[in-house]
């Protein structure tokens, strides 16, 4: 069975978490999606690339979530979320999925 790339899981967590929070109007529910995807991606980052890489990618995931908020004030919510999801996906692919 083919493995799901961690880049896709992380990006889906950021985009999906925002979408769930926005469309249900329940921010904690969006946080559940964000957290579940982050945990799933983190476990795979650790397995595939080791502890330091998993810690760095996890920190990037959290920073992307936090950074999307002020970025949204400048470019809009969806562009901000999609932008940070792209950054996290690219980093995740480079560190854990490529090889």
C-beta atoms surrounding 83 within 10 Å: 17
The 10s digit of each residue's pLDDT in 29-84 is 999 999 999 999 999 999 999 999 999 999 999 999 999 999 999 999 999 999 99
What pLDDT, on the 0 to 100 scale, is given for residue 79?
98
Cα gap 29→17, rounded to integer Å: 8
What pLDDT, on the 0 to 100 scale, is given for residue 82?
98
What pLDDT, on the 0 to 100 scale, is given for residue 1?
45
pTM: 0.94
Alpha-carbon torsion angle 86, 59, 33, 66, nearest 10: -80
The 10s digit of each residue's pLDDT in 84-99 is 999 999 999 999 999 7
């Amino acid at each position: 069975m083919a493995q799901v790339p961690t880049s896709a899981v992380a990006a889906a967590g950021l985009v999906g978490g925002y979408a769930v929070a926005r469309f249900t109007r329940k921010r904690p529910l969006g946080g559940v999606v964000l957290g579940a995807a982050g945990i799933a991606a983190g476990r795979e980052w650790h397995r595939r690339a080791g502890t330091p890489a998993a810690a760095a990618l996890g920190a990037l995931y959290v920073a992307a979530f936090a950074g999307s908020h002020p970025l949204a004030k400048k470019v809009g919510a969806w562009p901000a979320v999609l932008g940070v999801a792209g950054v996290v996906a690219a980093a995740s692919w480079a560190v854990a999925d490529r090889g």
